[in-house]
Amino acid sequence: MNKINVQDFKGMIRSGCANLENHSAEINTLNVFPVPDGDTGTNMSMTFTNGYNEAMKCNSDSISDVAKAFSRGLLMGARGNSGVITSQIFRGFYQHIDGKDEIEVQDVAQAFENGARVAYKAIMKPVEGTILTVIREASWYANNDYEKEPFDLNTYFDKLCTYSAESLERTPDYLPVLKEVGVVDSGGAGLLKILEGFRSYLQGNPVDFMEKKEEVETNPALMLENEEFGYCTEFIIRLDENIAKTFDEKILKKKLTDMGGESLVVVKDDDLCKVHVHTLKPGDALNIGQRYGEFIKLKIENMQEQHSTIIANAKEEAKPVKEEKVEEPVKKEKKAPQKYGIVAVAAGEGVTQLFYDLGADVVVSGGQTMNPSTEDFVKVINDLDHCSNVFIFPNNSNIILAARQTQTVLSERNIFVMETKSIQAGLSAVGMFNKEGDVADNINELNEVIANVDASSVTYAIKDTSYEGVEVKEGDYIAIANKGIIASGKDRKEVVFRLLDRLFRNKEKDLITVIVGEDKNDEEVKAIEDYIAEKSDLECEIIDGGQPVYSYLIGLE
């Protein structure tokens, strides 16, 4: 085979997508830390699936047009660092074959080399021993062989896959941490699965999805029972002067719970109280709230209606498209101009609410194991069209690249991505944001705040490993600080204490914040608070974050 036409190209994309998805769980396990947040396989699969879907929608007979749609889909669907790099590889691929209806071996070889160059340029500080190394080495060796003695497409992809596999095996030589824990780079492993899927198609054995499901069935919203829906009710009350003095959040929470309220958050700040509750009877919730004071803001959204709309839209996508009368678009309510818009990423109801309380305009759901895509950021920033400047706080190192891609997609907007690599740093930064200050001053001051936060965490191990002398067994609780595992054991409280002992050595800090996860134990939290008071002079703040995966997120500043 010497040429690839549109149908072949689409077949290769589908086969590569299926092979990646079928091995995504396996790729997730190639995590340096044995924690339950390995998500490279999931991120790359979701990224590639978005590109695949866009490519399939393109009805052009030109490979250039399909490759453009594929590249755009990857760009918008990019999740996590490996997903972003994958999108850049195929962006470079498309750039090289732009204008071609069919492509030959030389086109493919040079396109992958260009993909490697584009991906390297897109990353501010490229790291060797990653997916970048694999695509650079493999594409160079395969193209070099072709230039010496031309061969057909099957031979080219044989060589590309062989060189990719060899490069992947060498990644631990570039990154000692990979060698120490006995894994290869997960992003590089994902890329190899894509290329092997391409090769399988060209060999006449296309990879199919192991478990093909209808889109309607896989939509998470459709899996929820109707009774989980109702009205998302939010309001802010200015408490009556006499009530504010003796106001007890627990009493209000109990009243709202007794009336059937769920997903409940009640936060008091001086004379204001903010309430978020899901209920089938929003009027009852408002009646309870009004007993405490006057509403200064309220919002009620019908989640059942949203659910029904999702179902209708998902089912409609499966039907043939019919020509319908175009309705007059609903005019969007114009919002008052703002100098700044703040977008933060968070998981956990308590953490999310705290970001809103600190001044965030939008909180994108996400974090470890559920990295938002570039398109997720684009959508919320488009909704902030009344804001002259938008600041994004990714709050996770694996989300920063996807956030940065919005600066390319929405190049006409003033978008600034702060490198918050943890929830702890994000909360401190958003809390210090000066909405009246200059952009440059905010950036400088926020960078100082971010640099001053030491972030650590406690979670559990999903496999046995050894890291820098710390032996970890599957099921152990582990404490992570300064990008390393510093304690491991069966008793979570003791692991937390050992982490705290390490943190107490830093005498330059004066505030410690403990964000408690969704698996909280009240007695344990009290013991930790007492331990901090007894063993240190640090001012301590306990936050009920409700975050998944991590039992405790601890910030020191």
Tens digits of per-residue pLDDT, 466-489? 767 778 888 889 999 887 888 889
Which secondary-structure segment (H or E) carries 232?
strand 231-239
User: Is residue 427 a contact partner of residue 553, using CB atoms and an 8 Å limit?
Assistant: no
Q: Where do the domains of the chain lie?
A: 3-211, 220-310, 338-451, 454-556
Return the pLDDT at 471. Answer: 83
What's the pLDDT tens digit per position in 262-288? 767 777 666 777 787 878 777 778 878
What CATH number has the domain spanning 220-310?
Answer: 3.30.70.980
User: Mean pLDDT over residues 523-530, rounded?
Assistant: 95
Domain spanning 3-211: CATH 1.25.40.340:
yes
User: Is residue 520 a contact partner of residue 512, using CB atoms and an 8 Å limit?
Assistant: no
What's the pLDDT tens digit per position in 116-145? 999 999 887 888 999 999 999 999 999 999
What CATH number has the domain spanning 338-451?
Answer: 3.40.50.10170
Query: Which two tokens mark 232?
Result: 């998302």
**3-state secondary structure at position 417:** strand
pLDDT bracket for residue 236 (50, 70, 90): confident
Angle at Cα 506 formed by Cα 504 and Cα 510, nearest 5°?
80
What's the pLDDT tens digit per position in 83-92? 999 999 999 9
Which secondary-structure segment (H or E) carries 84?
helix 80-97
Query: Which two tokens mark 407?
Result: 């600066």
Kindly state the DSSP code that residue 328 receives in the 8-state scheme: P
pLDDT bracket for residue 230 (50, 70, 90): low
Beta bridge partners of 478: 459, 488
Q: Among 13-17, 41-45, 197-201, whose mean pLDDT is lowest?
A: 41-45
Give the CATH class of 454-556. Answer: alpha beta
What's the pLDDT tens digit per position in 424-452? 999 999 999 999 999 999 999 999 999 99
User: Is residue 375 a contact partner of residue 423, using CB atoms and an 8 Å limit?
Assistant: no
pLDDT bracket for residue 455 (50, 70, 90): very high
What CA–CA distance (Å, rounded) separates 186 from 490? 28
**3-state secondary structure at position 369:** coil
Q: Residue 207: how many CB atoms within 10 A of its CB? A: 22
Which alpha helices (DSSP H) does 281-373 contain, by range? 282-290, 303-317, 349-358
Q: Residue 114: how many CB atoms within 10 A of its CB? A: 19
Q: Residue 378: how many CB atoms within 10 A of its CB? A: 18
What is the value of pTM for the model shown?
0.69
> What is the amino acid identity at position 223?
M
Return the pLDDT at 212. Answer: 47
Rounded to 5 degrees, what are φ and ψ at 283?
-60, -40
In this model, does residue 233 exceed pLDDT 50? yes
What CA–CA distance (Å, rounded) separates 31 from 468? 15
What's the pLDDT tens digit per position in 45-71? 999 999 999 999 999 999 999 999 999
What's the pLDDT tens digit per position in 302-354? 665 554 554 455 445 444 444 444 455 455 567 889 999 999 999 888 999 99
User: Is residue 196 a contact partner of residue 12, using CB atoms and an 8 Å limit?
Assistant: no
User: Is residue 343 a contact partner of residue 392, using CB atoms and an 8 Å limit?
Assistant: yes
Q: How many helices (H) and strands (E) does the chain have?
A: 22, 18
What's the pLDDT tens digit per position in 93-112? 999 999 999 999 999 999 99
What's the pLDDT tens digit per position in 169-223? 999 999 888 887 788 999 999 999 999 999 999 999 999 998 643 333 333 333 3
Which secondary-structure segment (H or E) carries 405?
helix 400-409
Identify the residue with better confidence: 149 or 313.
Answer: 149
Mean pLDDT of the chain: 86
In this model, does residue 228 exceed pLDDT 70? no
Q: Residue 531: how many CB atoms within 10 A of its CB? A: 17
Return the pLDDT at 123. Answer: 85
In this model, does residue 544 exceed pLDDT 80? yes
Q: Residue 296: how many CB atoms within 10 A of its CB? A: 10
